[in-house]
Chain A
Amino acid sequence: MAEEGPFTDISGKPISLECQNYTPFCREFTVSSPKVSLLKVMGYTCSVWLLAYAVFFLTENTTVLSSAIMVTLVGMILHIHFVKVDQETLLIIGSLGIQLSSLYASGRESTTFIEMSKIKDIVINEAIYMQSIIYYLCILIKDPSEPDGVASVVPLFQSSKPRLNCLVRVYKSCQEIIAQSR
């Protein structure tokens, strides 16, 4: 599979895509986000602590300092456990279903599996995000009451937000498998 240059996300940061082909009908795509930058962490910590020192200088109360430390620690823990996504994986198994999983920076993994009988199609959609228009890959879920309708849309790779070249690669592979299982 020819590489079309390094992949980036919508804000220009470099991401990486890994495709693994287990069998002709089972493929796995992993998109890795850039790691937490040390400079940013240091910047936030320093600003919080400078603020705490300023307040301490004014009020002479030492609990301000200890609470600032606690706040920084708790904030970092919450960030890496709930917010920072390291990798997003899409595992597509023909005639069984599609599995989406997100790996957080603390090691927590959250997985969802959608059965093939519920999936109508995988498409690339456009969306207006803040001031720009972005492309995103999504799964259309069938509506049980309406044979041609779409009950809901599940967007993929929401944290890493890759650009169109990466999405097209994933889209083409998935369409091959979905076409087989129809």
Chain B
Amino acid sequence: MVLKIFFPKCCNTADSGLLVGRWIPGQDSAVVLAVIHYPFIPGQVKKYLTQMRSQTKVDLTVLGSWSMPKDGQEGMDSFLKDLSTIFPHSRWLQLSRESGKRAFTCRVVQENGKPAAKKDGDDNDDDDDKDKIIFVHYDQRKVMLSQLHPVQEQKGSEEESTELRTMFQTVAQSEPLFFHDMYDEGALKLTHWQSEGREASIIVELVKQASVPVCIVLTWLLSVWHWLCSFRIFHVWPVQFISSKLSTCVQTGYRTDHFQTVFSTRKATTHMEFMRKANIFVSFLVDIALGLLLISWLYRENRISQLANTLVPAADHVAKELQELLEWLMGAPAGLKMNRALDQVLGRFFLYHIHLWISYIRLMSPFIEMILWYVGLTACLGLTFALSVLSDIVALLTFHIYCFYVYGARLYYLKIYGLSSLWRLFRGKKWNVLRQRVDSCSYDLDQLFIGTLLFTILLFLLPTTALYYLVFTLLRLVVVMFQGLIHLSVDFINSFPLFAMGLRLCRPYRVAEGVKFQVLSEEPGTPLHLRMEINPLKFSSVLQCYRTPTYSCYPKDSWVALCKKLFIGELVYPWRQKSTKTD
């Protein structure tokens, strides 16, 4: 069997000593984590290892000895050989490296003292045990910090973990082992990645310390907000209905949920939880920054008053266009001949609505600037808020188009319903509600007479109603599409995992898809040396894996169902928000 030894790059030039690490169960491999240098007392080493084992939950053992003889240390080899009797082992590795040579030599000794594999040029009985050792050099700090994807969260699936995953987990869990190194005053001197240079950032430590009281304060504020929202007045039906329709309220609720996740005082235990918290926090910060940018652009050079001054003429213009459209429909639109009376009734009905609307706008016009000014301030809560407010304003301003659409759709639906029922009567059939099918039925003569009359009337009035319905449905769809675009962009800002993307750009080893091996050029007759590097995740996989789940807007019906609904005249709500979050 081939023996694989994962050796950290930082220990390549370490002084002679003992190798500390772990044998990976079930595989023929060992992970070397640190080297303990001379002088040491074996009893202290054993005590330290027991302590580390309980702290890290990793079964650390002494794997063997490492000798890199410097000048004046020739007697080390025999000393090293005797050490194998002090520490309990099933296999003992004796690695050695000559200064000036790049390759290691290795001897493996079994428990009963007989060598399991010899690595030198002697003739041996088992020829195929030669050259059966692979050294894999890994960068300890990067492997410790990285996370293999797809992320497996269950702890109990040890036997399903592959060799690489177990190795990564071992290094990550052994973090307490790396607290002491050879430059510390203490009983033991170790070499591991920290020996290359201690790394710590004062700012990070300060932020970590400060974050706890800040989180407590914010959680308290959130609980106050929840208490306010739980007042009975907000649960009365009209208020609840309106707040479920306004996207601003939906966005507020959504952000509150986010804050609860981010500001909870419980530390994130798993990787996915931590990434989610970090993503939400960074998205929120970027959102606020963009909102403030928008405010600074909006509030200078009197843009608000310019906007308000153009708003009333714009509303007037829209109303005028609608009036012209109705006049056109009331005439002979596209050469079609409409039923005069019905045309006039419907046209006048809608014209009166527009007149009401224009008066309402004119009434509001002195207050528009002030309202816009205060509403624009809500952009400081984030760009998503500003966009939600914009979407709500558009919905309110085009409320008359929505009303027209509903009137036209209802009228058209009634007409189609009546026509289909009278068509069945025309043919002598009836809809059986009990059996949900069409049955034949014998009608009386007067029933048939009136039915046929009504059918003819409805049929000849159909083009007029259909035309009004078509026009207002198209207008409504334009508005819906605009609102849909806004919702899509809000959704994008909410769900894009900025932190994960930034991590992939700046610290690509932390999001690992796999590993890469490179064969290091070696001298003949030495074991194989490989360099293991981390292969980072592709950007598309980062996006897919770390997307924050949102109330994503998606079309409720397929295109076919939508067309069918439009044809019959059923009211259409093309964009539907998921009420429950899905991952």
Contacts and interface: CB of A to CB of B under 8 A. Distances in A.
Determine if chain A interacts with chain B.
Answer: yes
B528 A22 contact: yes
A94 B522 CA distance: 18
B517 interface: yes
B519 to A, nearest CB: 5
A148 to B, nearest CB: 18
A26 B535 contact: no
A181 B519 CA distance: 19
A91 B530 CA distance: 11
A135 B537 CA distance: 31
A111 B538 CA distance: 11
Contacts of B535: 111-113
A119 to B, nearest CB: 11
A99 B517 contact: yes
B519 A28 contact: yes
Contacts, number: 53
B2 A181 contact: yes
A95 B134 CA distance: 10
Contacts of B4: 95-96
Interface in A88-145: 91, 93-96, 99, 101, 111-113, 115, 117-118, 144
A137 to B, nearest CB: 20
A23 B527 CA distance: 8
Interface stretch (B158-166, B304-312, B474-482, B492-500): B158-166
Interface string A27-63: 0100000000000000000000000000000000000
B514 interface: yes
Interface string A1-32: 00000000000000000000011111010000
Measured as residues with beta carbon below 8 angstroms from the partner, the interface class of chain A is 20 to 34
Contacts of A94: 2
Contacts of B519: 22, 26, 28, 91
Interface string B519-542: 100100001101000010000000
A117 B517 contact: no
Contacts of B164: 115
Contacts of A22: 519, 522, 528
B517 A115 contact: no
Nearest to B530: A93
Contacts of A112: 514, 535
B233 interface: no
Given A22-B519, A99-B517, A118 B162 contact: yes
Contacts of B516: 99, 101, 111, 113
A24 B134 CA distance: 12
9 contacts: A26-B519, A95-B28, A96-B530, A99-B517, A101-B516, A112-B535, A113-B535, A117-B163, A118-B162
Interface of A: 22-26, 28, 91, 93-96, 99, 101, 111-113, 115, 117-118, 144, 181
